[in-house]
Structure formats: structure tokens, C-alpha cells
């Protein structure tokens, strides 16, 4: 069973299995709903409201504003309750349907006549008695409240206060589907108005608004729990009075509260009994100054047949709230917007089943990504992911526009993105592991550049090749047989010596961007311009050849010193190098079971033949004509001969790389090169005496004897042609019989 499970896991893929586990974990995270997840969700809902706010078609609500104008006209707040009574009476006369205070009158009026009798010094007893006999300002205010439909505002408190002096009537509550109290927002305390006002009012409601974590008001409680009492909000209590009903019904299920309603109105809420406010742009036209109401200058149409909220926008009294559309909206207008959206049936809704729908959408998207991501190309996967994201956002926007439903698209997108990133990371880890295996398997045999390219593109480990212009190098140790004989009783010493000289030669090639093809005993085959493109491959190959000679010279000096110190025979190591440039086929060559990255072509064979001629001409680096012409401005190049190598019919002009650019510009090399050119011209035109004269002058100029072997070669040829002249069709081409 365990083996079967392992096989199934391998077939399904460990990355996919990890993503399935991640999908389950993300589902648990969404159910827990931590602050970042909620923040992302509500911010998307904010964006919807910014893009498409509620449009006002009617204005059933008016706000009587205790503004700066009112304070300038009637004095600082708080006003005497008699003035508030005058305001209520004026609104009743003007035809206000319901009046609600976004203000709490928690203490008796400090200007009550009885309070004045006790606080004003020097009054006689009759005057004090008359003042105490007058009705209180609070009573006059209560009488005004009693003659209209007035809702008094109350506030939830974070702490418990003293019990109320009077048993005040509470709004009736009918529960459908279960007890709502466990889901309600709860305040330990309740700040109420004084008893005389509470008993006179037709309704009482909480105006407390609790902002979200980020300080933005998005939801307003419709019904709450405060100091063991279940109470409606200020705005919903106004709706109750409009309908003339005594009872509020609450629908709930196991997930929480679904809606709160009265006769004629049912408002969908979240599970905690909060209404998602469908905000409109701030509307200054619904504000009426309290001063204009009291002075009788406000037009009756401003409040007639409307629900009236009394609040303040004065500086110092302003209750400011931040909403998705406005950073500083008076709190009283939030209540007005709740009433407007409720009366026009334009409320937003986020039903309890929304989370289930979102989890299903997230699961569907996640499973789709888990299934398709490993199968699709990056471009197709990007386009597919973009289509999925657009569909999720579009569906959420459609539900908002058509049905005013708030369905979250951020969580499904977030979860599918996390799954996608996990798959990408798993693919990256798997690819890196594969690259490490390739580096480990081939790093000892191929050049670092080739190993890295294979690690980056493992699919290249197949049979096949491509045509490229390349520079090929063959190098060999001169007289290696003699060196080997000196180690016939010490094979380990010979192996150590080979490693000792092959290492600097290899490093010289790799440092100049070359690729080692193979080692053949003491010989090395290398090439340039593959697998990585190298536009200066001829120059790099020549530099590598010169570096090899310099490093062998340094090694020989060390070995000579070691031989002198150890008292054994010193045999120097001399290296010959052949370089040629031409079109080759490069790629993985071999069988389906075993193959090597190598190069084939006629140019490869010529490079091998040129290496064999380095001893013949006395110059360690012999190059073909294409290589020489490509590097003639960067190195000291010397033409050597016009030859056909064994196995080839087409002749080739061959050259020697004598040194770097500084040698090319030296007077000594320029003179020797010119004499060599003169010698070759006379030789090919059969002017043997002229050629010999140029050679003699060359020997005199060649103080170091570097050209001695070349001059000796041509002296021998000229002596032979003097005895046996070449045929009439001779063009100066020398056919080489040896490889």
C-alpha cells in the first residue's frame, strides 16, 4: 500500500500534492479571516463604491444642522432645552414625518428655573419660590417631544454605568430562526437621555457607529446589544416609526443574522446585524441650518414629509467619520445615507452564503491551476491566468451592479496566486536540483561554460548538431615519448606530470572562453564559438595558444629548478599548437546510450594537421589562413608556406603566430617578416639565388635564432630543386606526406 501511494504521489507530482495541502490551509485561513484578508476584501468593496457610488433619485431625508451660523445666532452649545423644544415644535409645524436626535441629553438642563433659583445669589425668598414653581426646561422639551414622532439618540459605552431610574419602554423584538444575541455587537454600557425625555419619546435608538480596523465606516449596526438591552439603531428606529409598527423582527440562522425588518422593510445585514452602507456622494442640499428653522426663514419644503435628523457640523462639535467616498463626512450624514438607501431599496448586501461561494470559487480556481499549470507554456498560462482573474473580477462587479451583492474576488485570486507561485517555486527547486545533478555528472569532463549551458537547458542533452564558424585547436607535447621513457619505473610520477602540465594548458583555454573537446593522452582538442557564441573566437584562440606557451615556460623553469635541487635529469616540455577557422558541425555526437559534445568538419582535420607541422617550421603555433587574416592586426603573424596536407587536395597558406601586438610593431620582427616575404616571393618565382640571399640576410637579422628552422627548411628545398627542378606547372605548393 505504501509503495502504491508513493507511485501515485510521483505520478500526481509532489508539487501538486503540496499545492492541494496549501489550498486546504488557505481555506482554513479564510474561515479564520485574519485582519490582512479582511482588509483586502473590504478595500475591494471600497473600490466598487468609488467607481460606482449610489445615485440619488429622491431625497427623503433632511439634516437640521447646528452649524456655525446657528451658534453665531443663538450662542454656544449646549443651548437651553427650551430652544431645542422650539426647534422640535417648528419642525412639527413644517410637516416633518419623524425627528431624530444625533445628540444625547444625558444631564438636566443647567438653565432650568429651579437650578437658577439655587445658583443666583441675592434673590429674595418670593422670587426663589416663583422660579422653583416654574416648569423645567427639560419638561418643556419633553412636552414638545410628546407632541411629535421623535426618536432620541443613545450611545453605547465600553463600560457599565448606573442603572436607569425609570423602567423605560423597549421596542418589541420578534426572532425568526434563532437567538440573534450571540452575533450582535455588544456594548457593556449605555448612555441614555434623562428620564423625563426618554419617557416622552416615541422611540429610542443607538447612534453609535463602530469603524472598521482601518478607521473607515463601511457597516452600520441595525440592531445592537447595550447594557443587557437589545436596541435598534437610530436610523432603523426612525423607519419603525414611519411604518407605525411596534415590533422589529430579526431573521437569523446558524451562520448568524440574515436580515432585520419592520412592516414594509427588510434590510439584509451581515452575520452581526450590520448594514453595508451604499454610499452616495456628499449632498449639501439635504442640510438645513437650525438657525433658519428657528427664525422661520427655511422653506417648509426643506423638511416637509421628510425624515429629519438633528446633528451638528460646527467646528469643535463635529462628529467626523471616514467613509470609502469621503475622508471627513459628518456622522449624522452617515445615518442619513442609511435611511436613503433603505427607503429607496438600494442597500448593499453580503449574504451569509457569500463565504461559501467564495471558498468554492477559490477551490475551483486552485484546482484548475494545480491541474493546468504544469501542462501549459508560460505564455498560455499567463493568458489563462489573466482570463481567470478578469472573470473573477468581472463576476464580482456584475453582482455589485445588478444585485448590489458584495462578493469577494480577492480571496479566490489570492489563493490561486499563492498556489501558482508555489508551483513556480517547486519547479524552480526541481530545476535547480536537476542542474546540480548535471553539473555533478559533467563538471569533471566538460568546460564550465558548456556545463552551465547544459544546466540551464537540459533539453540539449540529445543527439544532433548545428553549423557554426568555429576556431579549432589541437595541441600536443613534443618529444613526449622521451619524457615517458624517463618515467618507465614511475608511472604514478608520469601521471602527476601529465596532470601538472595539462592543468595550466586547460586553464589557459578556459580563461579565453574555449571549450575542451577531449584529452588524447598528452594532446588537447578544444574549440571556440560553441556552445556559447563568441564573436572574437579567432583572437581568443590565438591568445589562449600564446598563454599556453607562457604557462609551459613558467612550468619548465620550476621543473628545471626542482631537477637541479633533486639531482635528476631535466627534460623540458615543448608544446605545438595548430589553429584553424572554418565552418563545422557542433553538437552532441554519439549513440542513444552515450554521446559527447564535439565538433566535426574539414576545418577540424586541417587544424590537426597544422599542429603536426609546428615542429617542421620551428614555430610552436601554426594557423590556417582564415585564422591569420582575422587576427593579423592583433598579433605578430608570419606567413610560412603554401601547402596541401595529407588527405586534402586544396592548398592552404599557413602562418605562424609569433607573438602579440607589441612584437608585431617591433622593428626586428618587421625586418624579419619582410625578409621572409621576400624569400617566399623569390622561392615561388624560382629565383633560387634571390631566395638564398634573403635567407642569408635573415639569418643575420635573426639574432635569437627563432627563424633558423624555417630558413633551414627552405635552404634544403632550394638545394633539392637546383638538383631536380620542379615541373613547369609548379606554383610553389608543398605537398606534405606526413600527418
How far is it, in rounded angstroms, from Cα 18 to Cα 421? 12
| Residue 630, pLDDT above cutoff 70 | yes
| Residue 475, pLDDT above cutoff 60 | yes
3-state DSSP of 388-441: HHHHHHHHHHHHHHHHCECCCCHHHHHHHHHHHHHHHHHHHHHHHHHHHHHHHH
Nearest to 362 by CA among 19, 36, 35, 34: 19
| Residue 507, pLDDT above cutoff 60 | yes
| Residue 470, pLDDT above cutoff 60 | yes
The residue-averaged pLDDT of 443-468 equals: 63
Q: Kindly report, residue by residue over 92-101, the tens digit of the pLDDT.
A: 999 999 999 9
| Residue 554, pLDDT above cutoff 90 | yes
- Pairing of the two strands 61-66 and 287-289: parallel
Residue linked to cell 473573477:
392
Q: How confident is the model at residue 123 (pLDDT cuts 50, 70, 90)?
A: low
**Exposed/middle/buried for residue 394 (C-beta within 10 Å: 0-12, 13-18, 19+):** exposed
**Torsion angle (degrees, nearest 10) of CA 174, 175, 180, 185:** -20
**Torsion angle (degrees, nearest 10) of CA 419, 360, 17, 372:** -60
Q: Helix 410-442 vs helix 448-456: angle between axes, to the nearest 10 degrees?
A: 150
The residue-averaged pLDDT of 4-9 equals: 56
* Whole-number Cα distances in Å, 554 to 477, 506, 551, 558, 638: 15, 15, 5, 6, 25
Query: Grid coordinates representing 569?
Result: 635529469
Which of 646 and 598 is assigned the larger pLDDT?
598
How far is it, in rounded angstroms, from Cα 102 to Cα 109? 17
Question: What is the chain's mean pLDDT, rounded?
Answer: 86
pLDDT (0 to 100) of residue 445: 46
Query: Grid coordinates representing 475?
Result: 595541441
What 8-state DSSP symbol labels residue 684?
Answer: H
Q: Kindly report, residue by residue over 296-307, the tens digit of the pLDDT.
A: 999 999 999 999
Q: Kindly report, residue by residue over 263-294, the tens digit of the pLDDT.
A: 888 889 998 999 999 999 998 999 999 999 99
Which of 282 and 114 is assigned the larger pLDDT?
282
For the chain, what is the radius of gyration of the CA atoms?
50
Query: Grid coordinates representing 408?
Result: 469577494
pLDDT (0 to 100) of residue 640: 96
| Residue 451, pLDDT above cutoff 70 | no
Query: What sign for the dihedral angle of Cα 334, 338, 341, 347?
Result: positive
| Residue 359, pLDDT above cutoff 70 | yes
Q: How confident is the model at residue 253 (pLDDT cuts 50, 70, 90)?
A: confident
pLDDT (0 to 100) of residue 443: 57
Query: Grid coordinates representing 56?
Result: 440619488
Q: Kindly report, residue by residue over 198-225, the tens digit of the pLDDT.
A: 999 999 999 998 888 888 999 999 999 9
Which of 536 and 586 is assigned the larger pLDDT?
536
How far is it, in rounded angstroms, from Cα 510 to Cα 444? 13
Q: Kindly report, residue by residue over 633-643, the tens digit of the pLDDT.
A: 999 999 999 99
Nearest to 442 by CA among 596, 591, 589, 592: 596
pLDDT (0 to 100) of residue 567: 81
The residue-averaged pLDDT of 53-58 equals: 90
* Whole-number Cα distances in Å, 672 to 436, 633, 694: 53, 17, 10
Respond yes or no on whether the N-terminal peptide bond of residue 78 is cis (omega within 30° of 0).
Answer: yes
How far is it, in rounded angstroms, from Cα 510 to Cα 724? 48
Query: What sign for the dihedral angle of Cα 126, 127, 131, 134?
Result: positive
Q: How far apart are the first and last CA of the chain?
A: 66
| Residue 597, pLDDT above cutoff 90 | no
The residue-averaged pLDDT of 636-662 equals: 90
| Residue 317, pLDDT above cutoff 70 | no
Element (H, E) at 556: helix 537-566
pLDDT (0 to 100) of residue 54: 92
Query: CB neighbours of 668 closer than 8 A, spacing ≥ 6?
Result: 701, 703
Pick the most confident of 310-314, 401-405, 433-437.
401-405
| Residue 176, pLDDT above cutoff 70 | yes
Class of domain 468-659: alpha beta
The residue-averaged pLDDT of 346-353 equals: 87
CA 67 to chain centre: 50
pLDDT (0 to 100) of residue 553: 95
pLDDT (0 to 100) of residue 619: 96
Nearest to 245 by CA among 261, 268, 225: 261
pLDDT (0 to 100) of residue 9: 53
How far is it, in rounded angstroms, from Cα 639 to Cα 629? 11
* Whole-number Cα distances in Å, 329 to 281, 282, 324, 535: 10, 8, 10, 69
The residue-averaged pLDDT of 441-446 equals: 51
| Residue 590, pLDDT above cutoff 90 | no
Amino acid at each position: 500500500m505504501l509503495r502504491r501511494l508513493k507511485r501515485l504521489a510521483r505520478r500526481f507530482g509532489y508539487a501538486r500534492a503540496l499545492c492541494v495541502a496549501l489550498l486546504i490551509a488557505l481555506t482554513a485561513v479564510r474561515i479564520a479571516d485574519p485582519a490582512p484578508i479582511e482588509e483586502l476584501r473590504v478595500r475591494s468593496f471600497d473600490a466598487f463604491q468609488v467607481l460606482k457610488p449610489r445615485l440619488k433619485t429622491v431625497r427623503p431625508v433632511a439634516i437640521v444642522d447646528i452649524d456655525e451660523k446657528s451658534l453665531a445666532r443663538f450662542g454656544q452649545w449646549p443651548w437651553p432645552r427650551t430652544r431645542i423644544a422650539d426647534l422640535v415644535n417648528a419642525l412639527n409645524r413644517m410637516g416633518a414625518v419623524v425627528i431624530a436626535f444625533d445628540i444625547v441629553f444625558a444631564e438636566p438642563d443647567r438653565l432650568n428655573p429651579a437650578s437658577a433659583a439655587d445658583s443666583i445669589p441675592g434673590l429674595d425668598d418670593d422670587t426663589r419660590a416663583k422660579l422653583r414653581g416654574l416648569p423645567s426646561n427639560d419638561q418643556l422639551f419633553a412636552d414638545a417631544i410628546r407632541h411629535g414622532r421623535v426618536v432620541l439618540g443613545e450611545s453605547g459605552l465600553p463600560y457599565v454605568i448606573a442603572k436607569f431610574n425609570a423602567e423605560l419602554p423597549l421596542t418589541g423584538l420578534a426572532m425568526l430562526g434563532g437567538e440573534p444575541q450571540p452575533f450582535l455587537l455588544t456594548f457593556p454600557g449605555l448612555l441614555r437621555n434623562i428620564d423625563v425625555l426618554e419617557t416622552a419619546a416615541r422611540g429610542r435608538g443607538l447612534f453609535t457607529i463602530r469603524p472598521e480596523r482601518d478607521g473607515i465606516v463601511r457597516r452600520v449596526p441595525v440592531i445592537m446589544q447595550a447594557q443587557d438591552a437589545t436596541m435598534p439603531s437610530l436610523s432603523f428606529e426612525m423607519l419603525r416609526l414611519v411604518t407605525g409598527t411596534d415590533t422589529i423582527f430579526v431573521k437569523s440562522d446558524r451562520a448568524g443574522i440574515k436580515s432585520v425588518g419592520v412592516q414594509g422593510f427588510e434590510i439584509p445585514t451581515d452575520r452581526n446585524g450590520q448594514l453595508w452602507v451604499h454610499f452616495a456622494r456628499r449632498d449639501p442640499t439635504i442640510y438645513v441650518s437650525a438657525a433658519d428653522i428657528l427664525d422661520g426663514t427655511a422653506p417648509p419644503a426643506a423638511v416637509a414629509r421628510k425624515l429629519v435628523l438633528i446633528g451638528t457640523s460646527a467646528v469643535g462639535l463635529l462628529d467626523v467619520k471616514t467613509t470609502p467616498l469621503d475622508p471627513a463626512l459628518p456622522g449624522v450624514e452617515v445615518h442619513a445615507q442609511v435611511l436613503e438607501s433603505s427607503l429607496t431599496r438600494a442597500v448593499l448586501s453580503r449574504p451569509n452564503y457569500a463565504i461559501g461561494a467564495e471558498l468554492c470559487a477559490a477551490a475551483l480556481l486552485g484546482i484548475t491551476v494545480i491541474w493546468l499549470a504544469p501542462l501549459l507554456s508560460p505564455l498560455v498560462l499567463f493568458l489563462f491566468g489573466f482570463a481567470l482573474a478578469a472573470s473573477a473580477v468581472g463576476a464580482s462587479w456584475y453582482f455589485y451592479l445588478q444585485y448590489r451583492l458584495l462578493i469577494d474576488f480577492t480571496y479566490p485570486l489570492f489563493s490561486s496566486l499563492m498556489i501558482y507561485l508555489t508551483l513556480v517555486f517547486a519547479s524552480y527547486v526541481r530545476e535547480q536540483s536537476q542542474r546540480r545533478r548535471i553539473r555533478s555528472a559533467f563538471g569533471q569532463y566538460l568546460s564550465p561554460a558548456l556545463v552551465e549551458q547544459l544546466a540551464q537547458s537540459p533539453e540539449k542533452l540529445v543527439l544532433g548538431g548545428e553549423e557554426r564558424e568555429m576556431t579549432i585547436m589541437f595541441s600536443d607535447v613534443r618529444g613526449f615519448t622521451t619524457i615517458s621513457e624517463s618515467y618507465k619505473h614511475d608511472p604514478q610520477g608520469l601521471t602527476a606530470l601529465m596532470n601538472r602540465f595539462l592543468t595550466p594548458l586547460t586553464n589557459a583555454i578556459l580563461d579565453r572562453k574555449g571549450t575542451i573537446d577531449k584529452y588524447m593522452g598528452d594532446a588537447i582538442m578544444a574549440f571556440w564559438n560553441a556552445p556559447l557564441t563568441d564573436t572574437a573566437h579567432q583572437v581568443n584562440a590565438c591568445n589562449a595558444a600564446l598563454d599556453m606557451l607562457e604557462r609551459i615556460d613558467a612550468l619548465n623553469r620550476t621543473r628545471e629548478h626542482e631537477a637541479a635541487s633533486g639531482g635528476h635529469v631535466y627534460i623540458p616540455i615543448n608544446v605545438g599548437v595548430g589553429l584553424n577557422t572554418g565552418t563545422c558541425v557542433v553538437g552532441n555526437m554519439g549513440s542513444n546510450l552515450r554521446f559527447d559534445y564535439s565538433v566535426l568538419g574539414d576545418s577540424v582535420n586541417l587544424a590537426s594537421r597544422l599542429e603536426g607541422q609546428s615542429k617542421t617550421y620551428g614555430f610552436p603555433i601554426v594557423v590556417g589562413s582564415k585564422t591569420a587574416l582575422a587576427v593579423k592586426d592583433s598579433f605578430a603573424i608570419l606567413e610560412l608556406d603554401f601547402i596541401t596536407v595529407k588527405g586534402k587536395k586544396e592548398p592552404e597558406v599557413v602562418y605562424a603566430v609569433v607573438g602579440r601586438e607589441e612584437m608585431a610593431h617591433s622593428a626586428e620582427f618587421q625586418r624579419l617578416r619582410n625578409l621572409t616575404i621576400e624569400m617566399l616571393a623569390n622561392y615561388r618565382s624560382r629565383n633560387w639565388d634571390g631566395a638564398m640571399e634573403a635567407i642569408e640576410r635573415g639569418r643575420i637579422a635573426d639574432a635569437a635564432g627563432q627563424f633558423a628552422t624555417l630558413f633551414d627548411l627552405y635552404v634544403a628545398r632550394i638545394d633539392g630543386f637546383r638538383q631536380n627542378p620542379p615541373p613547369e606547372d609548379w606554383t610553389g605548393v608543398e605537398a606534405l606526406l606526413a600527418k
